[in-house]
A and B are shown apart, each in its own frame.
Chain A
Amino acid sequence: MQSKISFLFFVSFVLAMVFSACETTIHPTLQSAAPVLVVDGWVNNKYQKQTILLSLTQPYFDDAQPVGVSGATVTVQDLTDNTLYSFIENPSVPGSYEWTPTTSIFGAVGHDFNLTLMVNGEVFIASSHMGRVPPIDSITFAQDQNFRSSGKIRYTGQFWAKDPIGVGDTYWIKATVNDTLLTLPTEINTAYDAGLSAGGEADGVVFLLPIRRGINPDRSNRTNNPSPFWPGDSVYVEINSITHAAFNYLSEVVTQTNRPGGFGQLFATPVANVSTNITNTNPKGSQVVGFFNVAAVSGRGQKFKLN
């Protein structure tokens, strides 16, 4: 995926040199649709408040905060040790259902979980598994040699970790740079073992270069200061273990949300709905979108200092 994206980037750049594509922001009329329940259910084993957000889809051009869905019952059951986690709605944030660890953290590596939602008389379920996660050994920064010739200075960061032996571990690597979580479509960084996708035979080794480098913020839009890192920046990297379904889901999200525009549109895939692992127990009931995943997390922070 990354290699394809950089290919597209480069070709688009070349074409932009040769021709002049032209883009206009427009406001087409879209088909109207009834709102659908959205589940944002990503919980983990960090010692902090865990949140499952329930909301409704909005018309595509409605740039408002999504409307929370109140009054639901949200529980997660650990199927391995039978612990029941009840998520209680935060009275000041409608639609935000929370569970805060007191004595122990949420779940344990290797356990299976079921999510049950009761919303307006309908029951929705989903399941997940907490996979293992390797520790992060270090985070390094270096000046990018490729750009030296252009006269511009560019620093990139990498994290170093080794995928454990055994095929089929999937991860979402999240980076927070100076307190900003990187969430642009180009910044979503996932791994299948140490490689980019299934069947890559990159198991039990250090994460491949594009993944290690996936912690760099996308500043390609900044003309004056495009270097991803500068001395003094700090980065916090987290490896989240995710299920295969979540891995596929995120790759679909990248495809659907990464619309670089320009000549890259020649290679764009059609708009399609991303998958969901939430199902309505009544097949004829209302639709639902979103995802439920339980992650184990390892993290490490580093401040960039020039020696």
Chain B
Amino acid sequence: MRHLISAFVFLSLSFCSLYSLAQQKFTINGYLKDAANGEAMIGATVYIKELNSGTTTNEYGFYSITIPAGNYVLQYNYIGYKAILQEVALDKNYRLDVELNAEATQLNEVEVVDEKDRPAAQNTSMSFNKMDVSTMKKLPTFMGEVDVIRSILLLPGVSTVGEGASGFNVRGGSVGQNLIYLDEAPVYNSSHLLGFFSVFNPDAVKDITLYKGAVPAKYGGRLASVLNVRMKEGNSKKTEVTGGIGTIFSRLAIEGPILKNKASYIIAARRSYIDVLARPFVSVLKNGGALNFYDLTFKVNYNFNDKNKIYLSSYFGRDNFLFSANQGFSWGNATGTLRWNHLFNNKLFFNQALVFSKYDYHLQFGNNSQNQFVWNSAITNYIYRPDFSYFINSNSEVNFGGEAIYYTFEPANASGTTNGVPVNVSLDKKYNLETSLYASHSLKVSPRFSIDYGLRYSNFTLYGPGTQYYYNDTVPGVRKSVVGQKTFSKGQPIQTYGNLQPRFSFKAQLNELSSIKGSYNRMVQYLHLISNTTASNPLDVWTPSTPNIKPELGDQVTMGYFRTLNTSKTQYEFSMETYYRATQNQIDYINGASLLINRYLEGDLLSGKGRAYGLEFYAQKKTGRFNGWISYTLGRTELSVNGINNNNWYPTRYNQTHNLKVVGFYEINKRWSFSSNFIYTSGTPTTFPTSRYTEQGILIPYNANNSRNNVTLPSYNRLDIAFTFQGKEYNKAGRKRKNHDYWAFSIYNLYARKNPFSIYFSQNDVQTLPGQPLVSQATQLSIIGSIVPAVSYNLKF
């Protein structure tokens, strides 16, 4: 395998050298930063007019461009910032660190640079969305809380099964098929309070990027998407305190320089305070009970010199629901990332990361030591990840690296004491190592045609100690029984899987404004989120691939048309993409599967294939007092599993035919601004019974057609609005105020629609008298059945 990769790297390098002609070339490199706070600018463009060529900054704000000697004007651009033009007489290598200033305000409509001077996006990336936290902060909120996951739900191809559901679905993938990174550390549960709020503190987040397809070879491990949440580095210019009081959380963040332009930090905390308010009224909370969720985010960076920089970031979050001092539930994520950026030379950028991530939950029942039950479950990762970027010239860039992840799965460490007799129902821990190597090459073949091709190889091994159970083949859809078991000693490999994952994308520029892009990629997923409930929940367990559970494979093809449309004053962007993803070894569950603390879980799992396809439209007005976007997705996602739905294809629980989102922002005046969003989605599928019968006095629903997801719920629609009121810029004495504050007012579900989350069927819960027929009923549930207004106050000084 290693030979294959090195051969590949060698080939791509020699391919590139064809383009490096004899002419003398020099390199310009450096970092792009925000002049106000020193934050690195990610994805900013560096454009050379004379060559009609350029590059973009990487996720650390670094760029490197190698071009022939000559006189050039470099244009540094970032949306919402004043472009900087830099003349260079290129006769040697240059290091140019540039700081950009934000446009004063959108109110003074800025002259957009003549459209010919605008660099058309040079990269081949598609099926990709980026959102700054400043945009998230302008969106209407749910209960006044700026929320990362809720914000991405407004992007094309992203959906949810309803309010309160944790996670999100991308292009018909399940919640467990998204790889969520917080500063390169995987986050296994992105939600607080089930799915109402996400775990990311907006005060500490810089931006997010979401790959829905055409995933770079650098990433792997989940089928549907990669969500990168990047934390701020902390203001390197001055100390700044940000705080806020909302309906749910109180927030406080402090950031600032440790050593001027050398080191900075940010520390941000949030805590829900509903328990503090409720304590006098709720007796449970007075007696050792707890109801709170909080998170703490911390990051520090240190700039050793021009060539070396380290970052340390960490996150800790927890949800606590205790109904007495020692009974209840808690869950949370903890992550830590240590990164070291190193410039080997002005063309070779190196980053290596050491990452720790853990998700765990804890349940405890029983009020005395004679009778109690304690259950812990966790997934722990240690990751080492080296990544190299080699900027060969303005037309060619090679990325290569690797990844090693050591996982420990602890499905249940559960023990009880019953009447003084200890009982242990713990399940074996599972140990895995996932190693990957990748290389990719971005190449501008001609001014109008670029390609990006790469290969990732990953290897996954399940190690002992542990007992592996083997199951019989039975009628599909029926619980399998154990036919054998084998015990493995410590370090002994139980099962190994290896997979090659080719990645390819291209861009053909039709003219200066429009292009066609296409891609193919294969993704492999070795860990599986075991969940058969309507919405994913904190008790869901991640389980690795084993001899019985094969890795999930996904092949996605995408094709898209992209166009920018610029008038003298405003910039528009339009895109249309189609995708088709075929998946193998998708997991589904037998009827009545038992998924928690079940030693024989694998006997309850089924495996099948899936397909998801759709069409996404996206139109954005990027500039001006009035801006926003429209996103529409037409999609379908289905599974075919032997033993379910009479072996026919059936739509998944998160299938949505139509998904429309309209988002608008308007700056009324210098102090007031308005935003609104409207969402319309088709209802998600559900299963209805046809009949009923009574067995031993119990009313049982029956679906005579034995179908799955045979009905669609009513559609979902909602309108939210928000107003932001900025505090005065000047105090009474006419001096500029040192601190900046604003009020955010939002109304969620403005017309109070009772959007159905689910319809369920049950026996009327009134005890019927013997001999009387049982009464059945259907109930439609709306999680949010009313208008939800909220207000938050935010302060920065």
Q: Which residues of A contact B (CB under 8 A)?
A: 1, 3-4, 6-7, 10-11, 14-15, 17-28, 30-36, 38, 40, 42, 55-66, 145-146, 149-151, 180-181, 183-185, 188, 194-195, 197-202, 205-210, 212, 221, 248, 251-253, 255-257, 259, 261-263, 265-275, 287, 289-291
Contacts and interface: CB of A to CB of B under 8 A. Distances in A.
Contacts, number: 286
11 contacts: A24-B780, A63-B774, A183-B698, A184-B767, A194-B423, A200-B425, A201-B423, A202-B425, A251-B594, A259-B762, A289-B693
Contacts of A266: 164-165, 194-195, 533-535, 537, 757, 783
A195 B425 contact: yes
Nearest to B704: A33
Given A22-B786, A28-B688, A271 B701 contact: yes
A205 B775 CA distance: 40
Given A151-B283, A185-B698, A263-B194, 14 more contacts: A17-B274, A20-B786, A28-B688, A194-B418, A206-B421, A209-B371, A257-B700, A261-B779, A270-B687, A271-B703, A272-B592, A273-B703, A274-B592, A289-B702
B691 A57 contact: yes
Given A185-B698, A271-B689, A272-B687, A146 B760 contact: no
A24 B777 CA distance: 10
A28 B778 contact: yes
Interface residues of B, number: 101
A208 B314 CA distance: 41
Most chain B C-beta atoms within 10 Å of own C-beta, residue among A36, A200, A206, A271? A271
Contact of A66 (B321, B327, B421, B693): B693
Interface string B13-47: 00000000000000000000000000000000000
Contacts of B760: 259, 261, 265, 268
Contacts of A184: 763, 765, 767
Given A31-B710, A200-B425, A200-B597, A26 B759 contact: yes
Contact of A7 (B363, B599, B785): B363
B475 to A, nearest CB: 11
A224 to B, nearest CB: 16
A33 B757 contact: no
Interface in B593-607: 594, 596-600
B582 interface: no
B128 to A, nearest CB: 31
Contacts of A194: 418, 423
Interface of B: 164-165, 193-196, 274, 278, 282-284, 286-287, 291, 321, 323-324, 327-329, 363, 365-367, 371, 373, 375, 416, 418-419, 421, 423-425, 427, 478-479, 532-535, 537, 539, 591-592, 594, 596-600, 653, 686-706, 708-711, 754, 757-763, 765, 767, 773-786
Contacts of A262: 781
Contacts of A60: 689-692, 701-702, 761, 776, 778
Contacts of B761: 60, 259, 271
A197 B414 CA distance: 13
Nearest to B322: A10
Given A24-B780, A180-B767, A273 B591 contact: yes
Given A21-B785, A63-B773, A209-B418, A55 B693 contact: yes
Contacts of B696: 40, 42, 183
A21 B423 contact: no
B40 to A, nearest CB: 38
A15 B293 CA distance: 13
A235 to B, nearest CB: 16
